[in-house]
Structure 1
Amino acid sequence: MCELLSTSDRQQWLMASLRRQPLIIVLRPRESDLLGPFLQSLLCQRLDQLVDLGVQHIEIAWVDHARWSALIEAIRLRHPTLQLGVASVTSQRGLQAVIDLDLPYAMSPLLDQGLVSMAHQHQCCLVPGVMTPTEIRQAWVLGCHVVKLFPAVVLGLDYYRQISAPMGDLPFMIAAGGLSVADLDPWLSAGYDAIALGRAVLSTTDAIAELRDWLM
């Protein structure tokens, strides 16, 4: 990403990209992914598989590890066209790593005003996690036009409709937490703008086949 892009520009880019393919896969590095050669890691195999399937947006969870940034650089080198984001950012240290690498965006499971302010100061796109109408409105007031509804499975498919009537216009909403490939079409039809799925999407042959069919 160009360093001259503002936070608003980056948010607009993310929304446009997710409208083309409203799916994000989130992967969490294991210790072996961080310590061994990247090309021999399970994470590399998973990434190759997802890219081959046609997945465009993948998030790597932030881990406070000395080799995390090197892992991200290795992923970028292997898959330069991948829209790579960062998940599980809950601290200034994690957000600073995202900023230093000039990654397109990061996501947090929570709404932290300090992190949002830090992201805006550095022209970084941070997508906060929200759950209640109050948090959704607060995120909007803080300048977050993209939010992550988390945990989505707890709130339910009909949550978007229930809050959209009294609240009016809502920010671009990514549903995350406990969802599967089978949930993609129902949740998108229910009004959610994009869906984030976890590593379990590659856990079975059936799930991989479902994902391949959905992407076709």
Structure 2
Amino acid sequence: MADHPGDPSGLIASLHRQPLLAVLRPHSASEAHRQLQQLQAVGLLHVELAVPTQPEAAWIALVRELAERFPGLRLGAASVRTLAQLEAARAAGLAYGVSPILDPPLIEAALHWRLTLVPGVFTPTEVHGALRLGCALVKLYPAATLGPSYWSSLRGPLGPLPACIAAGGLHCGDVLPWLAAGVAGVALGSSLFVDRPRLADGDGTRPGDDPPAVADADLDPDLAELLARLQPRGEV
């Protein structure tokens, strides 16, 4: 399932089978396990794990543990902006990394280390820059501010475009319109989980106390239906 090092073609092919990615920013190991269990249960394949600004050995160990615990998931690194984060993703054995920015030195380092890195783009200039750097797959971010028609509108002035993952501020209901507009995949973040507040009755609170803390979050109920609608794409 792993890509040829540094070659995004494996990831692009995998997105053709299921053009959806989850971007997680868990605050603890238990939360990471819980979220991955929920996503695996509904059949999601691609999951990006945000790399801390200053990654430590504990994060690398956790990611390696998650990879062993969930071998059916295609884990990658999210929010890669520095060489230290890229190196941590490499040390954790992740299959790919995704960045919100277009940074030539970061792309060069990924090529040197034979890692698959998906750079972030927003403007036509950045898309052109990614093409000149030989990027076959990019991340359009933040996509919610642009709308699905934006990406296809670039084909006229720029010519053939790289494969694209739309990300940033999107919800389950946005996925199909973006795919219809020609992107290779859509990444969903915090919108995947819906906070489930504890009941006030019997929880020990008194009038005037702060509102009860938020308990575990549930998956957006629309996700399972969306994945079912995407399933025929994998049979093409």
| TM-score normalised by L of structure 2 | 0.82
**Aligned match of 1:13:** 10
**Aligned match of 2:46:** 57
Distance 2:34 2:40 in 1: 10
Distance 2:189 2:64 in 1: 21
- Determine whether 1:209 maps to 2:221: yes
**Aligned match of 1:188:** 179
Distance 1:91 1:148 in 2: 17
Q: Following TM superposition, by how much is the alpha carbon of 1:208 offset from its aligned partner in structure 2, in angstroms?
A: 2.3
Q: Following TM superposition, by how much is the alpha carbon of 1:6 offset from its aligned partner in structure 2, in angstroms?
A: 3.7
In structure 1, runs of 5+ residues without a counterpart are: none
Over 3 Å counting, the alpha-carbon distance change for 1:52 and 1:207 in structure 2 is: closer
1:107-146 equivalent positions in 2, closer than 5 A: 107-146=98-137
Identity of aligned residues (%): 41
Task: Map Cα deviations across residues 28-61 of structure 1 (whole Å, 9 max, x no partner).
Answer: 121xx1xxxx3xx122111100000000000000
Greater CA deviation, 197-206 or 170-179?
197-206
Q: Following TM superposition, by how much is the alpha carbon of 1:104 offset from its aligned partner in structure 2, in angstroms?
A: 1.0
Q: Following TM superposition, by how much is the alpha carbon of 1:207 offset from its aligned partner in structure 2, in angstroms?
A: 6.2
Q: Following TM superposition, by how much is the alpha carbon of 1:2 offset from its aligned partner in structure 2, in angstroms?
A: 6.5
Task: Map Cα deviations across residues 81-138 of structure 1 (whole Å, 9 max, x no partner).
Answer: 2100000011110001112233210011000011000000011011000011111121
| TM-score normalised by L of structure 1 | 0.89
8 Å contact from structure 2 (residues 74, 95) kept in 1: yes
8 Å contact from structure 1 (residues 131, 151) kept in 2: yes
What's the RMSD between the two structures over aligned residues?
Answer: 1.8
Over 3 Å counting, the alpha-carbon distance change for 1:121 and 1:201 in structure 2 is: same
1:20-169 equivalent positions in 2, closer than 5 A: 20-30=17-27, 33=28, 38=29, 41-63=30-52, 64-66=54-56, 67-169=58-160
Higher percent of residues as helix: 1
Distance 1:65 1:119 in 2: 17
- Determine whether 1:174 maps to 2:198: no
8 Å contact from structure 2 (residues 55, 85) kept in 1: no
Distance 1:2 1:158 in 2: 32
Distance 1:158 1:23 in 2: 19
Q: Secondary structure at the match of 1:173?
A: strand
Q: Which has the larger radius of gyration?
A: 2
Q: Following TM superposition, by how much is the alpha carbon of 1:204 offset from its aligned partner in structure 2, in angstroms?
A: 5.7
**Number of corresponding residues:** 205
Over 3 Å counting, the alpha-carbon distance change for 1:2 and 1:23 in structure 2 is: closer
8 Å contact from structure 2 (residues 2, 95) kept in 1: no
8 Å contact from structure 2 (residues 121, 139) kept in 1: yes
Greater CA deviation, 48-57 or 202-211?
202-211
Which portions of structure 1, spanning 4 or more consecutive aligned residues, are displaced by more than 6 angstroms?
none
